[in-house]
Amino acid sequence: MGRTAAAIEARERAHLLIRLAAIALGGTLVLLAGVGATSLAALVLVLYLAAAVSVRYYPPLQRAPFVVPVLDLAAVTGLVSTLPLQLGPWILYAFAIGVAALRSGPVGAVAATALAVVGYDSALVLRGEQAHATDLWPVQALIAIGLVTAEIVWALARQDVDTLWSRNHALALSGLTRQREPEEVLRALIPELARLQSVEGAWVWTHGSDQRLRTTVTAGAAPPAEIIVSAEAMRAVLRPSPLERIVPNMTGLSIPISTNPPLTVGV
């Protein structure tokens, strides 16, 4: 199993566990609700369980764009509509927000929060005169839960990116320290420069006679193998300069790294 497939498998397993936790809490609320609301709420729970298991073990449903978000929010809204409000069934929306955050990151958490508020308001409207003004406070709680969840997911994702970059930098430095010859150092350095964010290419220029620059080690986008530049551009090559002063149709930096032999790195 590839790394991507393993990640998807782990994510779907986590989705199922969160849904099972929501169903377990929903079952407890059904038991506390008594006979009056048991049948309809229990039916919603059974349908939710069947749908959760189907999504877990039937991959085409996992790829459907609206099945996963609608599944959790619709099931929770159904439970909120059938259970007494004094039991606090709105807390089940936290599980739906969690699934959305796990699947789609901060955007999913925010979107699920907005839909949860709409779903809860709809449940209150369906109750008509049974709903009271004091039943609106869970809306604020849902917004707080959604924002906190989105912030946590964003922070964790950012931490993963920083960790990945730190690992890449460590590997790059390790590769450079193993080189012994100057040419080997350049061949190890240039690909690492090309991997930096916003960098499309890197290369080394050797300074030839008659104002010629020869491109040797390259990675990514690079100028032609040999170019003839003006005297002013040749002087710019000898000091850190904007790349457009040397190659007008390119943007970047030109950095001299050696005078003997004369070498310049372009990025």
CB atoms within 10 A of CB 114: 13
Asked whether the bond before 261 is cis by omega within 30 degrees of 0, the reply is yes
205: β partners:
215, 264
Residues in the chain, how many?
267
Q: Where do the structural domains in the chain lie, given as residue ranges? A: 3-164, 185-266
How would you classify the pairing of strands 241-242 and 253-259?
antiparallel
Q: CA torsion angle for 53, 160, 96, 144 (degrees, to 10)? A: 170
CB atoms within 10 A of CB 191: 15
| pLDDT tens readout for residues 208-247 | 777 788 888 777 777 888 888 888 878 877 777 787 888 8
- Tokens at 120, concatenated: 């809860």
Per-residue confidence at 140, pLDDT binned at 50, 70, 90? confident
pTM, two decimals, is 0.56
The rounded mean pLDDT for the chain is 76
CATH superfamily of the 185-266 domain? GAF domain (3.30.450.40)
- Tokens at 33, concatenated: 């609700």
CB of 191 within 8 A of CB of 219?
Answer: yes
Per-residue confidence at 179, pLDDT binned at 50, 70, 90? very low
